[in-house]
A and B are shown apart, each in its own frame.
Chain A
Amino acid sequence: MLNQAILYTEGDLGTAAFIAVGIFLFVFIAISFHLLHETAAALLGAVTVFLVTYIWGTYNPALRLLTFEDAMAVVDWNVIALIMGMMIFMALLAETRVFKWLSFQMYKKAKGNAWLIVVALISLTGFASAFLNDVTAILLIAPLSIQIALAIGLHPFAIVIPEILASNIGGAATIIGDPPSTIVGSHINLSFGEYLVNMAPISIICMIALIGATWLIYRKEFSKTKKEVSPALIEQMESESQITGHATLKKALLIAALTMVGFFMTEKFSQMPVGVVAISGAAILIAWVRPDMSRTLREVDWSTLLFFIGLFIVVGAMEKTGVIYWLATRVAVLAGDSLHQASLLTLWISGIASGIVANIPFTVAALPVADYLTSILPGAVESKVIYWSLILGADFGGNATYLGSAPNIVAVGLLAQAGYRLSFGRFMRDGVPVTVLTLIIASVYLLLRY
């Protein structure tokens, strides 16, 4: 599981290690507190690693943090291929407006019952987040949800905040749902099926818990909604919720279904990486749909791919200079010899950290620590429990604050565009209890199952 290109350095940390930590902290703080665009921060960090290695390292070989060759080996190309493949699917599927259509159908079927509408939209967001990127799910569902809330006289927070929480919880159900799931799953070469069998049950249980928590928090709001909605508003929502490109939708759904089958079949084909399946599905879809290629490629969000590449390089430098090994041995001391203690420690540390800082860089940095703990604790290799703990902590912990996860940030922006300012504290009022609840449920699940 450990990357062969990277050798842990035992012993005291040298100057190179401190420089690597400094670069990582710069990237981490810049991302977490939005001092720089995430991609700019990660690329700047990666470039600094190279400049220190090749300029400073020429005069002092001990300061060679990470060579370009090492860097190519530490980048998880499976993650990059998986994200790129899914982006192409998402770009074509999003154009069809199928999720908006589904949201509006749910609104109609609920006949003005606010509680039913909220449950349906939370469930749809959770389901969509399991198969689409969680940010895409929020961008597709939240704008219409805000309109539905306003139409029935419900405060938009009562729908959109639970949707944000659902996107992070639902995203944990599959290896393609949330970035931490993809990063960890790819790192240990998990098949789609193995991931699903282990993580979908806890994701579904936590979705049910979220629905219960939503009722407790907003039950008074639900009883105050109005039944009569202006015809002009209904007409506006209906007009924007029409499926466009039926042919593209049919083709995209068929290829998506085949890609899902492919995800389940990877174990049978020499442990084919899921990234290969995703990029194959995307290539077949492009060939079949024949979209405007330059437009489709423009819609692939290259900044995300560069962000991941930069981040892998920055963390790779910490790994190479022994920082991660040093950190891992300290965590191992805290965990003792107990696998249960280590898994709970991993779950709660990653859960709390992901609420405070961005969960993607945290997950990339925590992975080598999880590798180390798995290698020294009896039973950890077979059960993979340390990795499951890291995934659940990073995915669920991202719900505590709106800085924790990308869909939170995007949804806060969408609400602001509708004139509703969701403050840090207001988000935490709902986010923290749900995070603690889901982490407690996850703790019980991990202890009982592994």
Chain B
Amino acid sequence: MGLILCATRGGEASLRTQNAAISLAKERGDELAFLYIVDLEFLNKTAAPIMVDVENELAELGNFLLIVAKERANEEGVKTQTLSRKGNVREEIKKAAVEINATLVVLGRPEEGSSAFQLSNLHTFADEIKDETGVEAHII
């Protein structure tokens, strides 16, 4: 039984990726791991005072989104675990893949401009994951 890693958020594009990942896990009889990554880069766009622990706020938002993803997978009878990380999205996906001994990483094919990954970069990133971690990466 393998373990599929799927980085996720909560928008429509993420839901489509979750659906594809759930179907794939069901088909292969694999377990699924949903990963949420807190990325604070957007705060660098303003000099407004940031007096709130934004990292913690977003981690809690991430936990909520992971529960949504887990419930969707469980409804389909797929065993699921969840992980939350903070940092650069690409690096954290690679680190998490190694840490949990993932057998496959799935990357969503989101709408143009709506993702940390532009479509043109996805194949390069999939190759990067394979080269650096030895884990296969599929674009779904």
Contacts and interface: CB of A to CB of B under 8 A. Distances in A.
Contacts of A304: 47-49
A60 B52 CA distance: 48
Interface string A190-231: 000000000000000000000000000000000000000010
Contacts of A420: 10-11
B10 A418 contact: yes
Given A140-B52, A299-B51, A135 B64 contact: no
B61 A417 contact: yes
Which label, helix, strand, loop or mixed, suits the secondary structure of the A interface? helix
Given A39-B47, A143-B60, A147-B64, A232 B71 contact: yes
Interface stretch (B21-29, B37-45, B91-99, B128-136): B37-45
B64 A413 contact: no
A240 B58 CA distance: 11
A36 to B, nearest CB: 10
Contacts of A341: none
A237 B64 CA distance: 8
A240 B64 CA distance: 10
Contacts of B80: none
Interface stretch (A5-13, A87-95, A280-288, A381-389): A87-95
Interface string B61-95: 11111011001000000000000000000000000
Given A419-B9, A419-B13, A230 B48 contact: no
A233 B51 contact: no
Interface string B1-41: 00000001111111000000000000000000000001100
Interface stretch (A326-334, A367-375, A404-412, A442-450): A404-412
Contacts, number: 118
A417 B67 CA distance: 15
B49 A150 contact: no
A38 interface: yes
A419 B67 contact: no
B87 to A, nearest CB: 13
Nearest to A358: B46
Nearest to A413: B42
B45 A90 contact: no
B11 A418 contact: yes
A406 B9 contact: no
Interface of B: 8-14, 38-39, 42-54, 57-58, 60-65, 67-68, 71, 111, 113-114
Given A39-B47, A83-B49, A409-B48, 14 more contacts: A38-B47, A90-B52, A139-B50, A150-B65, A230-B67, A233-B67, A236-B60, A301-B50, A406-B48, A417-B61, A417-B62, A418-B9, A421-B11, A421-B114
23 contacts: A37-B44, A38-B46, A42-B47, A94-B52, A94-B53, A139-B57, A143-B58, A147-B64, A150-B64, A233-B68, A236-B67, A299-B51, A301-B48, A304-B49, A307-B47, A410-B46, A413-B45, A414-B58, A416-B42, A417-B9, A417-B38, A418-B10, A418-B65
Across the A-B interface, the 7 shortest Cβ-Cβ residue pairs: A413-B42, A419-B9, A419-B11, A38-B47, A406-B48, A301-B49, A307-B47
